[in-house]
Amino acid sequence: MSDRDFDGTSTQQVLTLLRKDTNHTFMFIVDQETVARDDRPVLVIDLFVEPGRTFRVIPSAMWSGENSLSLANMDFAEFAESADEDGIFRGFPEA
């Protein structure tokens, strides 16, 4: 969704707007922090298990989260807890 009417909308407001109208379990949001930072960390919001829990993900690691969360072979918490100290998921360490 790209609509300036949503500028400044909080995570809680997003949850309220989507609660009745979605079957999705998570959402990616490009916000002011995303575009202000060089690494472009996209906000990810849990809409299902812990509604409102968030982490950020760099664009090159988005595929990992999107695929795993869509297929439900990994939980939102696994990604959130694997984020760096700054709350940004940059991928899982290589084995």
The predicted model scores a pTM of 0.87
Mean pLDDT of 51-78: 94
Per cent of the chain over pLDDT 70 is: 94
Between β-strands 26-29 and 54-57, what pairing exists: parallel, antiparallel or unpaired? unpaired
Mean pLDDT of all residues in 25-50: 93
Q: If pLDDT is split at 50, 70 and 90, which confidence band does 12 have? A: confident
44-59 confidence digits (pLDDT tens): 999 989 999 999 999 9
- Cα–chain center distance at 29: 7
